[in-house]
Amino acid sequence: MKIEKECHITALVMVKNESLTIERTLDSLFNDDATCKVDRIAIFDTGSTDDTLEKCKTYANKTDLVIKEDEFVDFSVSRNKSRDWVESLDTDWILFLDSNDELRNSDGMRKFLDDTPAEIDGYYTLRHLKMPDDTIKFKTVNLQRAGRGWTYYGPVHEYPDIRDDEGKSTAKSPLSSIILYQQHREKDLEKTKKRHAWDKQVLIKALEEDPDNARNQFYLGQTLNDLNEKEEALEAFSKRAGMTGFAPDGFSARLHCGDICLELSRIEEAIVWYLRATTYSEQYLGLLRAEGLYAIGIIYRMMKLYKLAFTFLNNACNVPPLPEDIDGSFNNLAYTYLRYKRLAEVTIELDDMLILRRGIQVCTAALNTGINVKDDEELLDALVDKFKKLYPDRIQVNSPDETEETKDGAEDGAEETKDGAEDGAEETKDGAEDEPEDTMTPEEKQAEEHLKDLEDEENAMIERAEEEANNPF
């Protein structure tokens, strides 16, 4: 069953002293032709003392704009009061935005909401938090159908749900393609620090009242970490790791413990925590995550234990890409680029035919993302040159004036860079067929046996890298 009438959409923004960011958020609600993507913009102000509201009012001549001022209690209370207010104004859908969000990938939003079956209560939106060196991705139900009983829970890091009389979630909310994008900015740091200090006190009090609340325990660890209170954060995350609850938080808590131990130069403890996170991911998330393997590989690389570094980074590279509807956050750059680049950097430290071959593969995958072309080209050239130097007998002389690079080496990698990985892999196979088998060393025969698997893996890796590079957000 579908709702036949054209739906009414309200964008709801809760604000307090958001003068630096509010215009960016409101501008994102308009199309290039200045038409508004929603039917109404609702501003719920919880005590601004700057010119936030004055800036909001300038949009009143562009669309239906309503403003309500109210006292701030905590985040869930204020969210629920803002929702009740907007529902009283009559609307079908509410899009919740923070005051530093930018609405992206929203073309066709009205049509897919018009076509949404009546039993659907809301939609997850993708949240992309752009940090200085990465984009953190996660999802939240920020697009909610009005009148379905959505309620926010938690004094900080609030989250919405629909629950029955027994407290069980009944919400039906699939994933949408809408993105809410935030960019970290240095000029916002002072306000963020004040928010973290406030969050800390609120979470400590909440845990005194409900010490078994795993969500509050996790966010206390995160808040303490953001405040640079490392020992206290480690204790909080360690405690969360020993609790049940939302499995992605359990995974992240273990990762955070590893990160903090590393910052505190407690290397062995860090490795243990990263291994625990990796084990936990397969056991409780139902899929293997690469972050712990990657982190251990980086540790061994820093220690110049390159064989160990290769082992862990190679396994990190073999972890499949994460599904779009994954619960919890993840570091996008580590999956799309860094794991390939760091493995390539390790392989050049080792004098082994198969490892160098692997280095050429992963360096090609890193290069094809287009993220750091100059450096990746230089690294690829260095890998190719080293392969040629160590294994000159892999060059077959076809005539006095001509030589041809054969399968394992280097020309494969170089040709892939110029002409694409598929052509390079095909030339590799052709070269191998031409080479007399009785001239091959035992090591070369081993490489021959593994070649096909390596080529298939390489092509799949490059396809993944190119696909992920086309979606940088």
Question: What is the C-alpha separation between 356 and 454, in angstroms, rounded?
Answer: 12
- Helix 247-263 to helix 291-302 angle, to the nearest 10 degrees? 10
Q: Rg for the chain (alpha carbons), in Å?
A: 27
Question: What is the C-alpha separation between 120 and 151, in angstroms, rounded?
Answer: 16
pLDDT tens digits, 195-225: 889 899 999 999 999 999 999 999 999 999 9
Q: 325 vs 40, which has greater pLDDT?
A: 40
**Residue that the structure tokens 């054209």 belong to:** 6
Neighbouring C-beta atoms of residue 128, cutoff 10 Å:
21
Give percent above pLDDT 70 in the chain: 80
Question: What is the C-alpha separation between 210 and 314, in angstroms, rounded?
Answer: 43
**Closest Cα partner for 56 from 78, 79, 23?**
23
**Closest Cα partner for 396 from 413, 387, 383, 409?**
409
Can you give the pLDDT at residue 471? Answer: 47
pLDDT tens digits, 19-73: 999 999 999 999 999 999 999 999 999 999 999 999 999 999 999 999 999 999 8
Kindly report the length of the chain: 473
Q: What is the mean pLDDT of residues 255-260?
A: 97
Can you give the pLDDT at residue 78? Answer: 95
Q: 242 vs 473, which has greater pLDDT?
A: 242
Distance of CA 145 to the CA centre of its chain: 27
Question: What is the C-alpha separation between 117 and 138, in angstroms, rounded?
Answer: 25
Token pair belonging to 273:
């925590």
SS3 7: coil
Q: pLDDT class for 273, splitting at 50, 70, 90?
A: very high
CB of 349 within 8 A of CB of 301? no
Q: Please provide residue 377's backbone torsions phi and psi, each rounded to the nearest 5 degrees.
A: -65, -40
